[in-house]
């Protein structure tokens, strides 16, 4: 297992473990939606909240894993990449798609880190340890910055063709 996949799996497992840990430690009804300031504005039963978190994690893990596997089976005409003729040449196709898969696992791991952080804040609110989310803007700001850097690096990598 490569490092990107290991980080992806570890982050997903951490989210599921966090969900399981807090499930029995939450009251029957918990805050489930928060406004831009981080203040709760909707509530739901504990089981629904924990179930939603687990569903989102499992759905994202399955969707990302299946989509990267499916991409390897697609014909080149269905893949949209810069400099596609170079990167999908028969001698480079497998390596290119493996690199894309690894980059997608890094993206997935970062998404799970965001979920772990935001749900961790929500669990604190649910347990009465905080009146609102501690730092939602920071969480989403860092995730947005990660996406910008990740996308820029991804596109730059594929636009650069090594000299012949």
pLDDT in tens, 114-145: 999 999 999 999 999 999 999 999 999 999 99
pLDDT, tens digit, for every residue of 48-82?
999 999 999 999 999 999 998 898 889 999 999 99
Q: 3-state DSSP call for residue 85?
A: helix
- Cα 155 from Cα 152, distance rounded (Å): 5
Q: pTM for the whole thing?
A: 0.93
Long-range contacts of 46-53 (CB under 8 A, 24+ apart): 46/126, 47/23, 49/122, 49/126, 50/19, 50/22, 50/23, 50/26, 53/15, 53/19, 53/115, 53/119
- Cα 88 from Cα 95, distance rounded (Å): 9
pLDDT tops 70 at residue 1: no
Domain locations in the chain?
3-159
- Cα 80 from Cα 78, distance rounded (Å): 7
- Cα 154 from Cα 164, distance rounded (Å): 21
DSSP lists the bridge partners of residue 34 as 40
């Amino acid at each position: 297992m490569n490092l990107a996949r290991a980080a992806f799996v570890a982050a997903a497992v951490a989210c599921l473990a966090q969900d399981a840990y807090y499930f029995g430690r939450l009251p029957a009804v918990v805050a489930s939606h928060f406004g831009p300031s981080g203040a709760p504005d909707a509530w739901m039963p504990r089981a629904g909240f924990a179930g939603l978190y687990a569903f989102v994690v499992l759905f994202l893990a399955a969707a990302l894993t299946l989509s990267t596997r499916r991409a390897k089976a697609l014909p080149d005409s269905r893949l949209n990449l810069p400099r596609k003729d170079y990167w999908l040449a028969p001698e480079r196709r497998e390596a290119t798609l493996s690199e894309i898969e690894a980059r997608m696992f890094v993206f997935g791991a970062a998404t799970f880190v965001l979920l772990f952080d935001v749900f961790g804040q929500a669990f604190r609110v649910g347990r009465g340890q905080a009146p609102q989310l501690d730092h939602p803007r920071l969480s989403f700001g860092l995730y947005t910055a990660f996406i910008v850097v990740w996308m820029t690096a991804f596109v730059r990598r594929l636009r650069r063709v090594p000299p012949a």
